[in-house]
């Protein structure tokens, strides 16, 4: 690979993808994440800083935020699933970020923790027990779209658990 090409990927493509990943249009986010995954698989040795920025500022923020939509979380989980399907990518993330004493982010650890939080569900810390009870009652009685919300929550939890199993 030529230095000019790598420079263009880092300075133009990655910056554009980062901006596109913050779009409210899920089709744009989906395509941007797919391109990012391809870049990681093909150019990860050249994109250490960019991978850290994407994982910390897009993937983990979406998973950890209560304001992220169901669709956004699904897209990120799908992208993480794709990344975790390659064991060498996972080991490189661990070695390049968690084992590097100069790195500011323990990315592998943070990915595992974020996936575990999603797999536990919204009230996984038992702090929202009353809210969970209300949600269960609404689900049983079929009130106000609770079944759809419960189904989405269950799907996210299962997907996060599947990705977590793959990662570990």
pLDDT, tens only, 98-138 = 998 887 778 999 999 999 999 998 644 444 445 445 555 55
Instruction: Tell which residue, 80, 59, 68, has the closest CA to residue 24.
Output: 68
Angle ∠(85,163,92) on CA atoms, nearest 5: 50
Confidence of residue 148 (pLDDT cuts 50, 70, 90): confident
Cα–Cα distances (Å) from 65 to 15, 68, 81, 90, 107, in that order, read 22, 6, 19, 23, 17
pLDDT of residue 61: 93
Whole-prediction pTM: 0.80
Cβ 39 vs Cβ 14: under 8 Å: yes
Residue 14 has pLDDT above 80, yes or no: yes
Can you give the pLDDT at residue 102? 80
What is the arithmetic mean of pLDDT over 25-54? Answer: 92
- Name the pLDDT band for 141 (thresholds 50, 70, 90): low
Long-range Cβ contacts of 66-69 (<8 Å, 24+ apart): 66/122
DSSP state of 40: H
The dihedrals phi and psi of 99, each to the nearest 5 degrees, come to -95, -10
């Amino acid at each position: 690979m030529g230095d000019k090409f790598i420079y263009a990927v880092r300075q133009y493509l990655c910056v554009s993808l980062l901006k596109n990943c913050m779009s409210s249009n899920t089709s744009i986010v989906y395509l941007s994440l797919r391109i990012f995954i391809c870049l990681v698989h093909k150019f990860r040795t050249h994109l250490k800083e960019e991978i850290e920025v994407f994982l910390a500022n897009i993937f983990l923020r979406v998973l950890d935020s209560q304001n992220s939509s169901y669709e956004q979380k699904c897209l990120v989980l799908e992208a993480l699933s794709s990344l975790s399907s390659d064991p060498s990518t996972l080991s490189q993330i661990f070695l390049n970020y968690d084992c590097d004493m100069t790195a500011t982010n323990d990315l592998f650890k943070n990915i595992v923790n974020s996936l575990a939080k999603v797999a536990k569900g919204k009230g996984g810390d038992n702090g929202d027990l009353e809210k969970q009870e209300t949600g269960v009652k609404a689900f049983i009685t079929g009130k106000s779209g609770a079944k759809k919300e419960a189904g989405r929550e269950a799907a996210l939890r299962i997907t996060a658990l599947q990705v977590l199993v793959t990662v570990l």
